[in-house]
Structure 1
Amino acid sequence: MRIVHYRSTNSCNLHHRSSVEIKQLEAFLAVMSAGSITGASRLLDRSQSQVTRLIQELEASLAFSLFDRNGPRITPTPKAIAFHSEAERFLTGIGQLKERAKRILAEDPAPIEIAAIPAFASGLVPLALSVLQEDRLPRDIHLRSISAEAAVQSVLGRTADFCIASLPVEHPGLEVHGLFQSPCVAAVAANDPLAANEVISMGDLAGRCLITMANPFRLRRRVNQALEAANVRPLRITDTNVALTALQLASTGFGIAIVEPATAHGTQVKNVEIRPLDMDIPFLWGIFSAASKPLSETARELIQLIIRVSATRIPRIVAHDPRHIDRVADATFGADPHRQDV
């Protein structure tokens, strides 16, 4: 199969007159995954010379080098790293397109495509899927664990039916199926003296290692504000992009984790205790779909199950009226000093 005039949405655009073949992209992704031409040839069941030739043809089409070669060792160039996600997303889309064509031919129900932040993809969404009646499930379900930003873009790009994302999320092309808020919690090792406390105070973090999230524009921002308000200085701060990793670090006794409640109450990690904090650090999230793309009845039923499971598992959860988005914005960003209430 040949793709003519394929254009990337990133800065690594293909030249207007270039053409790229699927097998060239497959060879590139295989080399990136295996780390070598030899490994890629085994993954693709092709000879090393064939894989090398496909990579060279792709480089010629792209007009930039993908790998730096030092004898038998190869290292991806910065442009290859930037191009990788584009190629991976494109080939994944081609695979799903072929899959859908087969389903249309067989008149099977369409698959459900879900994009969710790790907090929900690792626990609450699987729990909701397990509740959905077997005869209501399509043959194929795709659940992707990705960042909030990527989840929203998946919905807008029509590669996901709906997404679950932490706030802020503001886009006129989205239909809001629910906006929710609940307080973050602390996680400590079971043998930590603080595990005996019913509530962990912000002051308990003084002189201890704090484990929390990395994204400065989402939960981390509110954690920093809480530390500043309590005038608390941890010994050190270790951050990660996945709350489950923070829980696992806390279970070893490495430190105290402040995480969102979806992961804390939706997954099970051994040797860790979850405790409320004495300060409300809000975690805000929502469920969204594309406003111009009607959802199947099964997808809407699954959304309601996710909401129901979340309400059962997450303590002190509050549902916000999407029509009062200003209240959600205040909880997300802090009150707007420039807004004049009427």
Structure 2
Amino acid sequence: MEVRDLEAFLAVMSTGSITAAARLLDRSQSQVTRLIQDLETSLGFPLFERNGPKITPTDEGVAFHDDAERFFSGIGHLRDRAKAIASREPEPIEIAATPAFASGIIPLALAELPAERLPRTMQLRSMPAEAAIQSVLGRTADFCVTSLPADQPGLEVQGFFEGRCVAAVAHHDPLAKKPVISIADLADRTLVTMANPFRLRHRVDQALKAANVRPARVIATNATMNAVQIASTGLGIAVIEPATAYGLQSAPVAIRPLDVDVPFLWAIFSATARPLSAGARALIRQIVDVASRRIPDLVIHDPRQMARIADRTFSGRAGDPAPAGGDARDMPDVNENEPAKTKTRRE
């Protein structure tokens, strides 16, 4: 298997045709066809089905694509690192993050990072939590910022945090006038929530069950930003994690605390036995600083307690009344920038 074979395969997958891939790679169509054939021979299965000029990925080709893309990205990352070492520049930084962090907290942290810490090359890739973790384990990302659970071997915890989920409603929705939204307010309304049943959705469902609340309908999506946009139309009430709620610079929704505690656990991971560059370490510190300032009542946990706290959170009872303290009317909307208190809890 040659790198140029993989390059041809990825180009065809991206463009949808041999002709377009050849144009992208500045090769002839016959050269691209030959490279694909060589790759298929080495793999032992067909990557595409050919029907005259049309070409369609096989099931095997689709399954192979993600791994090939990660490997090819890693090759590019290695080349960038070699150039940085040769020229004594700051090493490139590759970050994998769930959309909640890639769209808000991390860009803010990058903007605040001193210029001398910024390398010539950086990558911020948004992806599901499972894929972000695999990027770190596969050494195609220096670190990832993701929600929990995550219990894979080979991960080193650079930070472990807990925030509280909130409600996002359109400004013209009557609930926007309330300082605190009750879980009971979701009854007979449209709930906008996450699709993955093993992460945030699990906790939201637990809270609804504990309160004996049944929404009129549920709209499930794979990204919090989608939930925010749906809520902004007035179609429903979104229960979202605090990273998106307080990390975005602006959004046409009002953010209100809930009267029940729906915890959101997240962490920053790197690969075990893989030292982080000075720039990557500085960026992690900046991400923690930005999150601490923007997310109300953020709790910084002892990483050694991650397994115990995660187990308690994902298997325990949700929907407990929110703890007293702090005037809920002081909670900012998404487009406001009030500082938030941060708690550090060592357990």
Category of TM-score, reference length = shorter chain: 0.7 to 0.9
Match of 2:339 in 1: none
Native 8 Å contact 1:115 1:154 kept in 2: yes
Runs of 4+ displaced beyond 4 Å: none
**Within 2, Cα distance between the matches of 1:175 and 1:87?**
25
Q: CA deviation at 1:171?
A: 4.2
Aligned partner of 2:264 among 283, 291, 296: 283
Aligned partner of 2:58 among 77, 93, 100: 77
SS of the aligned residue for 1:26 comes to: helix
Native 8 Å contact 2:21 2:32 kept in 1: yes
**Within 1, Cα distance between the matches of 2:112 and 2:35?**
46
**Within 2, Cα distance between the matches of 1:166 and 1:68?**
38
TM-score scaled by length of structure 2: 0.85
Aligned partner of 1:320 among 292, 301, 305: 301
Native 8 Å contact 2:208 2:214 kept in 1: yes
Match of 1:248 in 2: 229
Match of 1:213 in 2: 194
SS of the aligned residue for 2:175 comes to: helix
Aligned partner of 1:115 among 96, 99, 112: 96
Give the gaps of 5 or more residues in structure 2.
318-347
SS of the aligned residue for 2:239 comes to: strand
Once the two structures are superposed, the pairs formed by residues 37-186 of structure 1 within 5 Å of their partners are 37-186=18-167
- Over aligned residue pairs, what C-alpha RMSD do you find? 1.9
Greater shift in the superposed pair: 42-51 or 245-254: 42-51
SS of the aligned residue for 1:257 comes to: strand
Greater shift in the superposed pair: 38-47 or 112-121: 38-47
**Within 2, Cα distance between the matches of 1:231 and 1:168?**
26
Identical counterparts, % of pairs:
63
Deviation by residue 1:272-305 (Cα, 9 ceiling, x = unmatched): 1111112111000112223322323332222221
Aligned partner of 1:35 among 16, 26, 35: 16
Deviation by residue 1:111-145 (Cα, 9 ceiling, x = unmatched): 12222222111110111111111112222222222
TM-score scaled by length of structure 1: 0.86
Count matched residues: 316
Native 8 Å contact 1:190 1:272 kept in 2: yes
Native 8 Å contact 1:248 1:269 kept in 2: no
Native 8 Å contact 1:155 1:163 kept in 2: yes
**Within 1, Cα distance between the matches of 2:282 and 2:5?**
41
**Within 2, Cα distance between the matches of 1:36 and 1:157?**
29
Deviation by residue 1:174-206 (Cα, 9 ceiling, x = unmatched): 332221111111111222222222222222222
**Within 2, Cα distance between the matches of 1:42 and 1:238?**
41
**Within 2, Cα distance between the matches of 1:68 and 1:208?**
47
User: For residues 290 and 89 of structure 1, do their structure 2 counterparts lie closer, same or farther at Cα, with a shift above 3 Å needed?
Assistant: closer
Native 8 Å contact 1:181 1:285 kept in 2: yes
